Amino acid sequence: MKSVFFGLATKYDDGIETSVAINAANVVLEVHRTELGSSLWHRVGAVSGETIQWGGSVHYDDGKTPSVALNSHNVAVEVHKSQSNSGLWCHVGTVSNGGVKWGNSSHYDEGANPSVAVNDDGVVLEVHKSQSDSGLWCHVGKVNGTSIKWGGSVKFATGHVPQVALNNSGVAVCVYEDDKELWCRVGHIQNDTSILWANSTKYDTGITPSVAITDDGAVIEVHRSEKYVGLWRRMGRVNGDSIVWEDGSTQFDDGAKPSVACAGNMAVQTHESEGLRTLWASNCLIMDRARWMTDRLQALGSKTLKTLVLPASHDSGMYEGGFQIVGKTQDLSIYAQLDYGIRYFDLRPKWNGSSFNIHHGSIPGPALTDVLSQVARFMQGGGKELVVLKISHYDSFGRGTTVYDKMTAQIKAALGTWLVTKQQLAGKRLAEAPFSQLVQNGGRVVVVCDGSEPVNSPVDGIWVYRDWDSNNPAQGDLRVFDVYSNTMSYDTMQADQFDKFRTYTGMCKYSNVPCDMFLLSWTRTPPTDVWNFSTEANRKLASALKELSVPNGFGQIVNLLYVDYVEYARVTDVAVTQNGLKG
């Protein structure tokens, strides 16, 4: 199912009461109130990959609680409350050349907390709360030059902080809060002059919700937790007069008063910080990340592991809580990481005398059998996804290959149906087989194992892994430059990883043997509390890669984007962009 993962946002301004809009050309329009006072400001931006390139802030009016909408004809509609009374005011403007030319401000009603939407036909839907009670009211209007021809005000619900979205089929969604419960209502525009609302339904708990809707009826909702500063997103789909919601909400950041918008295959959110009166934004693709390869087979077909960019998870199996939180590096299970789009996994097995567990140093993780069953479950879902399992850092395996053989037997038993074998490669090296060949008969799993064991006890479907600085790289079926920075400093890590890439020649260190892939180790190395040390790196992954020249001077690319807490880095979206693919 198509979904959004906004990840951790980056700061773009100071202020409060933000509202954001986007159109099909990926033009972004944001409005907000100054952090001190009543002046209202707008900014125009342009989506560039997983970043927004913002223009400067421009003062356009005074007031409170502004809301903005934008259509594909670059027509902008803005509404706000007066700073001194309950008057509601609107502007119509045109976005061009990175700016907005607003028409005059026009008074259209009395109330509080207005929200507005506009579609490509120029139909405008506005909702607001009464200035005197909890009644929620709406207007339908039509853009007419630099003004709006409004219909009458109609009461449709009771609640607080209503927010509205409208698509090009005339389907509307309104969300609002009522005593820390979140409610939604679907509406259908009638003849561009009125709206027929269905009944309201409760869908979650929280405060300050915002909503967006795609032209095919997918609903994106964001809100703040009712108790904490966490920001959460939820996905659903309009089905007639109701919304079928996915199970549960997913936290994506901390903050307050989020706003969300979407157009085409792109979604954007803005929000206030949790206390500093700063404004933050992130954007992401609206796509089915579980099938990001399957849905782009033609574009990926000729690529090899040498030329692919894959989202990768560091210490992939360390996602459990409890005591294991000391070594926790992810919060998604293996299946959930696969569903999110991760395609390269770092698995570290330990033998405890009767079974295998994943481990990080002395910290135990899940059973290997559980990890393998999650991979099998994902592969059973069909599609043509290519998954790489890199297995290394063996613990308590002893001498010889007895324990190793037990492990490979488990792998074969669980994943044999999907393993890439020598016969499938038809004489090609693993890293040089085109993607189309690897997945021609369905999704496949590439298992690569480090050490002498896969050489001394070869198993078809289990390939030999070698690091770039190995003493015997020629043995490797897959050779990877994987050198972490070993620092707690983000700036030191970024500089070190970028320097490593700039000087990466595509050859192994100690012999004239080609290296197959470059792994960007976008991780910091604290003794514990990986989450807090991961946030800055994850926030900055997309923007930092904008500064890196790819390919480098030796014609090499970054192949593996290797991160902790993968979804907060939007690493799948970044990989799609780095592969030169359309969302």
Quick one: 307 and 280 in the same domain?
no
> 497-556 pLDDT, tens per residue?
999 999 999 999 998 999 999 999 999 999 989 999 999 999 999 999 999 999 999 999
Quick one: 303 and 443 in the same domain?
yes
pLDDT at residue number 324:
63
Quick one: which of 353, 365, 316, 364 has its CA closest to 337? 316
pLDDT at residue number 583:
76
User: Does any domain span residue 569?
Assistant: yes
Quick one: 302 and 186 in the same domain?
no
Quick one: 530 and 470 in the same domain?
yes
CB 122 within 8 Å of CB 88: no
> 144-199 pLDDT, tens per residue?
999 999 999 999 999 999 999 999 999 999 999 999 999 999 999 999 999 999 99
User: Does any domain span residue 5?
Assistant: no
Looking at the structure of the chain, the number of domains it has is 2
Domain around 560: 291-578
Residue that terminates a domain, selected from 252, 286, 320: 286
How does the average pLDDT of the chain come out, rounded? 97
Quick one: 405 and 514 in the same domain?
yes
Mean pLDDT of 326-332: 92
Quick one: 108 and 73 in the same domain?
yes
Mean pLDDT of 88-113: 98
> 437-460 pLDDT, tens per residue?
999 999 999 999 999 999 999 999
Compute how many other C-beta atoms are within 10 angstroms of the C-beta atom of residue 441: 10
Dihedral angle of Cα 324, 532, 281, 89, to the nearest 10 degrees:
100
Quick one: 346 and 493 in the same domain?
yes
Q: What is the spatial distance between Cα 77 and Cα 506, in angstroms, rounded to a whole number?
A: 52
User: Does any domain span residue 110?
Assistant: yes
User: Does any domain span residue 381?
Assistant: yes
- DSSP classification of residue 122: -
Q: What is the spatial distance between Cα 376 and Cα 368, in angstroms, rounded to a whole number?
A: 12
Quick one: 341 and 277 in the same domain?
no
Angle between helices 530-545 and 571-578 in degrees, nearest 10: 20
Q: What is the spatial distance between Cα 374 and Cα 92, in angstroms, rounded to a whole number?
A: 52
User: Does any domain span residue 583?
Assistant: no
pLDDT at residue number 329:
96
Residue that terminates a domain, selected from 286, 315, 343: 286
Mean pLDDT of 334-363: 97
- Phi and psi dihedrals of 307, rounded to 5? -115, 0
pLDDT at residue number 132:
95
Q: Which stretch of DSSP H or E encloses residue 161? A: strand 160-166
pLDDT at residue number 228:
87
Its sign, for the CA torsion 417, 421, 423, 426, is positive
What DSSP string runs through 432-448? GS-HHHHTTTS-EEEEE
Q: Which long-range contacts (CB under 8 A, 24 or more apart) does 183-189 make?
A: 183/157, 183/159, 184/211, 184/221, 184/243, 185/156, 185/157, 186/238, 186/240, 186/241, 186/242, 186/243, 187/125, 187/156, 189/123, 189/125, 189/140
Q: What is the spatial distance between Cα 422 and Cα 433, in angstroms, rounded to a whole number?
A: 11
Reduce the DSSP state of residue 430 to 3 states and report it.
helix
Quick one: 360 and 220 in the same domain?
no
Quick one: 200 and 304 in the same domain?
no
Q: Which stretch of DSSP H or E encloses residue 537? A: helix 530-545
Residue 351 has pLDDT above 70, yes or no: yes
Quick one: 326 and 265 in the same domain?
no
Mean pLDDT of 325-348: 96
Q: How confident is the model at residue 323 (pLDDT cuts 50, 70, 90)?
A: low
Query: CA geometry: angle at 469 spanning 328 and 303, to 5°?
Result: 80
Half-sphere exposure of 532 (CA within 13 A, CB side): 6
Quick one: 165 and 250 in the same domain?
yes
In angstroms, how far is CA 4 from the centroid of its own chain?
Answer: 6
Residue 582 has pLDDT above 90, yes or no: no
> 285-296 pLDDT, tens per residue?
999 999 999 999
Q: What is the spatial distance between Cα 426 and Cα 437, in angstroms, rounded to a whole number?
A: 10
Residue that terminates a domain, selected from 246, 267, 286: 286
User: Does any domain span residue 4?
Assistant: no
